[in-house]
Amino acid sequence: MIFVFTKNPRKAISLILRLVCCLGMLFFGSCDLFSTHYGKTCYRTEHFKIYYHEDEFTPQEIKQIGARKEYLRKYINNTLETHFDGVIDVYLDWYLGENPNAEYTVGVFESRRYVMDDDGHEIAHIMVFETLGGDCDYDVMTEGMAVSLEYVDFSENATGGNYQNALEMYARIMSMPDTSEEENELDWYKCDTSITSQFYDRYFDYSSGSYLRAGAFLIYLRSHWGIKKVKQLYGELMQYTSSEKIDQTFKELFGATLPELEMEFTRLYVTEERKKNQAGSK
Ligand SMILES: [Zn+2]
């Protein structure tokens, strides 16, 4: 997630609460807004300042969290082919609970549950902004980049960080038979709109499926054309532009328009996979 002024109601509520909190702290004369509220203790690693409450994390846990953050930072730099060397502020157990956020230039706000199973999504936002020139107007691109940089291994014997696993997971979810009878988690994942329309209509629907799809699509581009082209894409589409310009940019970088690329991506990771599933179940 990234915290911006947005039409997303959940974020709007969090913004209001944050403002109320800030005003309250100003009233009571706090000088260091975030560190005072989000944690009295600061654990410092080479690239992170981690603010936390001592009664919520053991020294051992905080040490592990710091080490993992450093590891993730390295992984993201390697994948992005960047050399981000700045310090990121991390505010743990943010009072709003379960929704982690990245707030550009301020740092990341992460819940206990998130940070104990950290995939690097939030620090990836900050690193992308810092190294690729700022925030992208297209949320599908902003979130897709962060998802594509998550360090997650979905396989049984997790060893971590393999982009092929993310693509396989996407393929698995998208190619499963529809379950129209009852609502379940799978439907929530599959309830999404195409990448093409999320660019053309400048609208990201924030469903889990859209996050996963955007990330998988960028991993697909990265694995076929390399990270440099994906970074160029990010730079070219940083500001809202016309559908024609979007297609022109995709064509220049990847040899096909966005709808064409999405069709091929879907064929490879959904249609083919579905065929395999059907063949397997006979
Ligand atoms: Zn995000």
* pLDDT 10s digits, 80-117: 999 999 999 999 976 656 788 898 888 999 988 889 88
What pLDDT score does 268 carry?
86
* pLDDT 10s digits, 171-181: 777 766 655 55
Q: Ligand 1 center to residue 150 CA distance, Å?
A: 10
Q: Ligand 1 center to residue 164 CA distance, Å?
A: 20
Specify the pTM: 0.80
* pLDDT 10s digits, 48-91: 999 998 888 999 999 999 999 999 999 999 999 999 999 999 99
Every domain of the chain and the residues it spans: 9-132, 139-281
Largest CA distance in the chain: 70
Q: Ligand 1 center to residue 27 CA distance, Å?
A: 32
Work out the pLDDT band at 271, boundaries 50, 70, 90: confident
Q: Ligand 1 center to residue 3 CA distance, Å?
A: 8
Q: How far is CA 165 from CA 23, 37, 60, 200, in A?
A: 45, 38, 30, 29
Element (H, E) at 110: strand 107-110
Mean pLDDT of 153-170: 57
Q: Ligand 1 center to residue 93 CA distance, Å?
A: 17
Q: Ligand 1 center to residue 102 CA distance, Å?
A: 7
* pLDDT 10s digits, 180-207: 555 555 555 665 689 999 999 999 988 8
| Location of structure tokens 């809202």 | 240
Work out the pLDDT band at 30, boundaries 50, 70, 90: very low
Strand partners, 259: none
Q: Ligand 1 center to residue 135 CA distance, Å?
A: 12
Q: Ligand 1 center to residue 10 CA distance, Å?
A: 14
Rounded Cα distance, 207 and 212, in Å: 9
Q: Ligand 1 center to residue 202 CA distance, Å?
A: 16
Describe the strand order of the beta sheet including 48-52 as a list of residue ranges: 41-44, 48-52, 88-92, 107-110, 101-103
Beta strand 41-44 with 48-52 is: antiparallel
Question: CB of 54 within 8 A of CB of 41?
Answer: yes
In the chain, pLDDT over 90 holds for what percent of residues? 49
Nearest to 140 by CA among 188, 201, 191, 198: 198
Q: Ligand 1 center to residue 269 CA distance, Å?
A: 23
Ion ligand 1: protein residues whose beta carbon lies under 5 Å? 1-2, 143, 146
Rounded to the nearest 10 degrees, the angle between the axes of helix 121-132 and helix 59-80 is 40
